[in-house]
Copies of this chain bind each other. A is one copy, B any other.
Amino acid sequence: MARLVPVSDPGDPRLADYVRLRDVNLRKSLETEHGLFIAEGEKVIRRAVGTGYPARSFLMARRWVEPLADLLDEVNAPVYVADDATVEAVAGFQVHRGALASMERLPVPSVAETVRGVRRILILEDLVDHANVGSIYRCAAALGVDAVVLSPRCADPLYRRAIKVSMGAVFAVPYARMTNWHDDLGIIRGAGFGLLALTPDQSAVPLDKAPMGERVALMLGSEGDGLSSRWLAEADEAVCIPMSPAAMANGVDSLNVVAAAAIACHGLMRA
């Protein structure tokens, strides 16, 4: 049976996991310190629980209990039930998607473990925007990328906004975070991957003509600067998405990183 616990005081310490969900800095430190993340909305909560993340607690208005009843019955965690105003006062905004869940993070596997036995991976270097990271996971999941490796500075895929934008795909794609920006590419290469660096440079090999070996790791750079020169230099091949010559002449010569990632993931599928 679900343990329903009525709450009405936004300052209730049992709701501390849910405070000020839009305060990025506060949330980053709070979630890291307590090893938690927030799942929002029925679909995403189901996916998080289904993936094996343990629930710490739930917070929702009464009307969201029924649609989640089967899950709440199974999971051994308190369900705090409050009116909309209380939820809003805690979270700091009106929670349209209804239910919130505070979930426990699990240990993230090492880079070596994550790439073992798989064939197609993305490596993201310093993508700091949560929505971009979430969107890229969604592409990766839908298009059959086996795993994602994040550079040390990449945004957290389990941050609420990343989860939401990914529609829960962040749970579906195994990932690792590099601990060593300098050397961890070597681990991936050592596991037999060819490293392709995606660059806007039109003198690079077009993605559709790039050699796709048995194992391919595609590296994507940050929103602003693209891949670092060090990572570009470490690649076996630089590849590009061909742009329209007219666009180049007009200065409309770039895609945003999500559009580039979508095309790249689609390209990885062909092999």
Residues of A whose CB lies within 8 Å of any CB of B are 47, 135, 138-139, 141-144, 167-169, 172, 208, 241-247, 250-256, 258-263, 266, 269-270
Which residue in B139, B252, B260 is a CB contact (below 8 Å) of A169?
A: B252
Tell me if B262 and A142 are in contact (CB < 8 A).
no
For A138, the chain B residues whose CB sits under 8 A away are 252, 255-256, 259
Number of copies: 2
CB distance from A37 to the nearest CB of B (A): 18
Which residue in B135, B172, B244 is a CB contact (below 8 Å) of A247?
A: B172
For A142, the chain B residues whose CB sits under 8 A away are 243-244, 247, 252-255
Contacts A138-B255, A138-B256 known; list 19 others, CB within 8 Å.
A135-B258, A138-B252, A139-B255, A139-B259, A142-B255, A143-B241, A143-B243, A167-B252, A167-B254, A168-B252, A169-B252, A172-B252, A208-B270, A244-B269, A258-B259, A259-B261, A260-B262, A262-B263, A263-B266
- A135-B259, A263-B266 in contact; A141/B172 too (CB < 8 A)? no
**Bound form: Cα–Cα A251–B141 in Å:** 10
Closest residue on chain B to residue A250 by CB atoms: B172
CB distance from A29 to the nearest CB of B (A): 25
**Bound form: Cα–Cα A246–B252 in Å:** 36
Chain A to chain B contacts (Cβ below 8 Å), 17 pairs? A135-B256, A138-B256, A139-B255, A141-B247, A141-B252, A142-B244, A143-B241, A144-B245, A168-B252, A172-B247, A172-B252, A208-B270, A244-B269, A258-B258, A258-B262, A263-B263, A266-B266
CB distance from A244 to the nearest CB of B (A): 3
**Bound form: Cα–Cα A250–B171 in Å:** 10
Tell me if A144 and B262 are in contact (CB < 8 A).
no
Q: Which 5 A-B pairs rank lowest in CB-CB distance, beginning with the nearest?
A: A144-B244, A259-B262, A141-B252, A262-B262, A172-B252
Interface centre among A245, A260, A263, A270 (most CB of B within 10 A): A263
CB distance from A40 to the nearest CB of B (A): 17
- A141-B252, A250-B141 in contact; A242/B269 too (CB < 8 A)? yes
For A246, the chain B residues whose CB sits under 8 A away are 144
Closest residue on chain B to residue A141 by CB atoms: B252
CB distance from A133 to the nearest CB of B (A): 14
Closest residue on chain B to residue A137 by CB atoms: B252
CB distance from A43 to the nearest CB of B (A): 9
